[in-house]
Amino acid sequence: MKKRYDLIVFDWDGTLMDSADLIVRSIRAASRDAGFQEPSEEASRHIIGLGLLEAMMHLFPDARQEDYQRLSDRYRHHYFLASEEGLNLFDGARETVAALEEAGYLLAVATGKGRRGLDSAFESSGLGRHFHASRCADESFSKPNPAMLFDLMERLGVEPERTLMIGDTTHDLLMAENAGVESVALCHGAHPRQTLEACSPLACLNDFEELKQWLHEHA
């Protein structure tokens, strides 16, 4: 059977790695350290997927430039300190990624994480060896700008119509739409199903078991 896609691009946090709760806790701890009112859990989950500076500007629109730097620094402190204890991939993520690589797909990551954070996650999870390319928010424009996808497609020589984006936030889905790329949503991450469905992805799936089945039938 001819493949529908040549390149499959994954988001990282909330899609492959179960890190949304840690991100929320780190954001709220950073806000306390910097003397700001804690954002709600809903607001904190909404910005997951954006670059760190864009996330802080969204959550604290009245802060000064120097405040954003302190908020970002304190966020990194709390996140990396807690993540040293280990973060888990979602059930089935490792097997799915390995099977896709074995089946001949090009695989990439487009993430709101910085390069330091993604490289650390690649190493700790052992998943990095399966990906042919990756793009981070500190190397490009933040989602939903399509630049990360454009960069990955250019680097790997794949057209938008042969590319699929898989993510857990509206930022992922809107980035795909802006790049002319089809998308699939996973509902086990940061944004609720109803919000994801409003972006009209090809499918909203609960977990990697459903994703594997969908890819088998449609990819």
Domain with residue 50: its CATH number is: 1.10.150
Residue 103's contacts (CB-CB under 8 Å, 6 or more residues apart) are none
- 115 in the same domain as 203: yes
- 45-100 tens-digit pLDDT: 999 999 999 999 999 999 999 999 999 999 999 988 887 666 799 999 999 999 99
Q: Range of 63's domain?
A: 20-83
CATH number assigned to the domain comprising residue 202: 3.40.50.1000
Query: How many domains does the chain fold into?
Result: 2
What residue type is assigned to position 144 of the chain?
P
- 123 in the same domain as 57: no
- 100 in the same domain as 141: yes
- 26 in the same domain as 15: no
pTM for the model: 0.92
- 200 in the same domain as 134: yes
pLDDT of residue 1: 57
Q: If you search the block for the tokens 């910097």, which residue do you land on? A: 34
Q: Rounded CA gap, 169 and 190, in Å?
A: 6
Residue 66's contacts (CB-CB under 8 Å, 6 or more residues apart) are none
Provide φ and ψ at 184, rounded to 5°.
-130, 140
- The reply to whether 2 falls in a domain is no
| CB-side neighbour CA atoms (13 Å) of 73 | 8
Q: Rounded CA gap, 207 and 212, in Å?
A: 9
- 184 in the same domain as 140: yes
pLDDT of residue 84: 64
- The reply to whether 134 falls in a domain is yes
- 122 in the same domain as 44: no
- The reply to whether 125 falls in a domain is yes
- 100 in the same domain as 56: no
Q: Is 101 exposed, middle or buried (0-12, 13-18, 19+ CB in 10 A)?
A: middle
> Which tops the pLDDT comparison, 2 or 133?
133
pLDDT of residue 153: 98
Q: If you search the block for the tokens 């954070």, which residue do you land on? A: 117
100: closest CA among 13, 20, 166?
Answer: 166
- 76 in the same domain as 46: yes
pLDDT of residue 2: 77
Mean pLDDT throughout 11-24? Answer: 94
SS3 97: helix
Asked whether 131 and 68 are in contact (CB, 8 A), the reply is no
pLDDT of residue 23: 92
164: closest CA among 210, 203, 112, 122?
Answer: 203
pLDDT of residue 87: 79
The helix or strand, by DSSP H or E, that contains position 23, with its residue range, turns out to be helix 20-33
